[in-house]
Amino acid sequence: MKAIVYEKYGSPDVLQLKDIEKPTPEDNEVLIKVHARTVTSGDIRKRNGSRKTLPIWPISKMAIGFRKPKKNILGCDFAGEVVSVGKDVKRFKKGHQVYGLYGKKGTYVEYICMSEDGAVVQKPSNMTYEEATSVPFGAISALYFLRKGNIQSGQKVLIYGASGSVGTFAVQLAKYFGTEVTGVCGTTNLDMVKSLGADHVIDYTKEDFTKNGQTYDIIFDTVGKTSFSRCKSSLKRQGFYVLAVFSYRQILQTLWTSKIGNKKVVSGVASESNEDLMFFKELIEEGKLKSVIDSFYSFEEIPEAHGYVEKGHKKGNVVITSGS
């Protein structure tokens, strides 16, 4: 089967199209033909493998490999069709359309094998494969960090980076939880963020939200472009400054503010669950959650997609279509 493989860190040119062996499912596994996957910011950081792009270096470098990648296929989310099942599988049948997260070996491939107990469920019935694959990474991350901020109905929440993969879902989920949402993004994305349900939008190129006199229960930075010292005055008492991308300094701030003061810094690493995927499926089928797609690339164009995502201007998700 076809795969996009990288044997060393570097520019998008390190991504190469190769033929590798098609996996065979074990007794408790399903074989899935991947029809769509995305290029995430995490894929970009891993491919670069540099001190500049990786958070909490060198710990992150230990995880992915110092001299070369430990895992040479990128990609984490997918949507596809079950083409065969192991003899012990109960949850899935051949022909089921599914979506989920697959961090074990990567999704820049034509087929993956997953345990039926992995992060995979039947996809929302009202979504295409391309729309469905745009959900897991962004929505799971957004939900995890909003929960870290102890989100409650009636609060005021600011989402910085509201037009990205995590940000677009954070806006929608914060509205679902009954909060007043302010989205911060660039000029060209203001209308889109507003259409997702944001009560207020701020153009970061024209206005500094920390100087407008407003205070928030949660400030959620989805892209790592702000700082606690800058945002502290914009937090209410008992407010949370939530970070999806963080450094050693911010880890120390998390530990320090957990003991002292009435404004907290929180961060962490999101983990996938079938419960969350089912939750999103229900919201989507009820019309309460949708994915935002910036652009589509073919499987062979994954290096070009990396180059585009690396520029940092995408809206929502960049989707890679079927490998065949």
The pTM for the full model equals: 0.93
pLDDT computed for residue 295 by the predictor: 97
Fold of 2-135+291-320: Quinone Oxidoreductase; Chain A, domain 1 (3.90.180)
Backbone CA torsion sign across 18, 61, 271, 117: positive
pLDDT computed for residue 49 by the predictor: 87
Radius of gyration of the chain (CA): 20
C-alpha torsion 231→232→234→236, nearest 10: 140
pLDDT computed for residue 324 by the predictor: 47
Q: CA-CA distance, 215 to 212, in Å (whole number)?
A: 9
Determine contact, residues 123/79, Cβ cutoff 8 Å.
yes
The domain segmentation of the chain, as residue ranges, is 2-135+291-320, 137-266
pLDDT computed for residue 272 by the predictor: 83
pLDDT per residue, tens digit, the chain (324 aa), is 999 999 999 999 999 999 999 999 999 999 999 999 999 999 999 999 876 666 656 767 677 777 899 999 999 999 999 999 999 999 999 999 999 999 778 999 999 999 999 999 999 999 999 999 999 999 999 999 999 999 999 999 999 999 999 999 999 999 999 999 999 999 999 999 999 999 999 999 999 999 999 999 999 999 989 999 899 999 999 999 999 986 646 666 766 676 677 889 988 888 888 999 999 999 999 999 999 999 999 999 999 999 999 998 899 999 999 844
Q: What is the largest CA-CA distance in the chain?
A: 62
Q: Does domain 137-266 have CATH number 3.40.50.720?
A: yes
